[in-house]
A and B are shown apart, each in its own frame.
Chain A
Amino acid sequence: MPASATLRKTALNAMHRRLGAKMVDFGGWDMPVEYSGLIAEHMAVRTGVGLFDVSHMGDVQLRGPGSLAAVQHLTMNDASRLQVGQAQYSALLYPEGTFVDDVIVHKFSDNDYLLVINAGTREKDYNWIRSNARGFDCHVSDYSDYYTQLAIQGPRAAETLQKLTPTDLSKIKFYWFTWGTVCGLPNTLIARTGYTGEDGFEIYVPSSEPTSEHVWNQVMEAGKEFGILPCGLGARNTLRLEAALSLYGHEISDSINVVEAGLDRFCKLEKGSFIGSDALHKVQAAGGPERRLVGLEVIERGIARDGYAVLDPSGKTVGSVTSGSPAPFLKKNIALAYVPRQYAEPGTEVAVEIRGNPVKARIVGIPFYRKPKKASAAATV
């Protein structure tokens, strides 16, 4: 289908089309959903390496003497624990303790923080950050359009990227970053982050078309011996689902709170007051939330999909699937779903209503997939 004039494009749009990608409208962006095939792309990331264009993600920087205080007020994790060169998973919350968006906070210096935000919520997030940072001595800038963000993901990602930079990548721990020369481009942000449940890097290069295409081609060439594949949003979704990573609009939203989503380990109420903290104190005081995010494995024949109902053994609707799909690496049909507390225990049998029929499923622990342990994988904050 021809790209509608209103869809936004990354600097690599022409490249994706040349590669024969299937394009979809993703949150207002004309993005590749798959190139050679979703399953092959998924497997490349689990067993070798894959390359994703994630330039649609947003980049908001807070700078100034009050930037840490602003980040602490705006996000749920404790940014005061970050060292320069370290990143953390966090979220912007509403006063109700529900999600504006999830973010990755990077500490550039004592008065310089970068928040990487989702594509579909860019304007909302930026406005939210600006209006809530107003009382702090810092400046908020949206650099989203300045960068092409590439994710190089998989067990061979480090070897692939190492060919293109003199920076010793083995020195960058998981959820840390540095600046280095990549493909001859100085001061390139190299972060050991990703959204696949696999080791990998995200690099941020200038968003000019020739530069972006040059780096894309260099990465493809460097990863050739490891069977690198360009990967689309389809594989990105199944990879993050196997790793049980939340997706805005599915597992997290403005009507789901942090504790329900099971993300309280990234929420540091002890750091002091921040937007959403009062509401979350109340949830904790009440003995926790009524519903919980759980993993489901479909045990009879059928695929659970987003929005399908979860039924108790009597056939009554008790919850709903937020993300469901065949899991290409695990070769099971898995789902994330919200269910009442009494059904949340792993091993509990429930059913998913698939096109009018109850199909048996079991609550299982999440993540469904955990990458094999490696020396480079360090604890995150």
Chain B
Amino acid sequence: MGEVRAARPGTADDEAFKRELVQLIPHLRAFARTLCGDPAAADDLAQDAMMKAWDARASFQMGTNMKAWTFMILRNQFYSEKRRSWRQSQLDQEAAERTLVAVDDPEAPVALDELRQGLAMLPAEQREALILVGAGGFAYEEAADICGCAVGTVKSRVSRARRALHAILEGGDYDRDGASASDAMRSILADAERLSTVR
């Protein structure tokens, strides 16, 4: 991205850009939360990404997918910080465990812990692909753009992630207060059933 400081005054374009960017903030926060450390670190990352997007607004074509564009910025920001300051080898597992277990809301459904722990056990690139496609609402093509890889690669990462996550939740390869894995899967199924009738 570099330092693209478009010093245009508050034009109508800027206003439209800003409005759209503001609407994306909750999504940037959610994506950041899945990538990086605790919620505070995630918000720092989301803010950095937001400002990078703002600074680079001149290079954004209005009418194209701003969500995918900002997610790409956020992801690049995350990986370049990670390269700079963290030792690659330890990071993935540790950060993922911290992140995905960290819940800001004390009243968050406890049952989500199982999924967070399961996700934490996936390789980073699989986790990221699954989250973009499975939760972020991106098409495979968009996820491929965001991650800078081929569509087929995203597809195979997502499907491997799904299989692995299922196996983890089913097999109890994670550990949570002694609760058994089949309990976890049962509660996930029960919850999903309840949610799907609500929707």
> Do A and B associate with each other?
no
Q: Which residues of A contact B (CB under 8 A)?
A: none
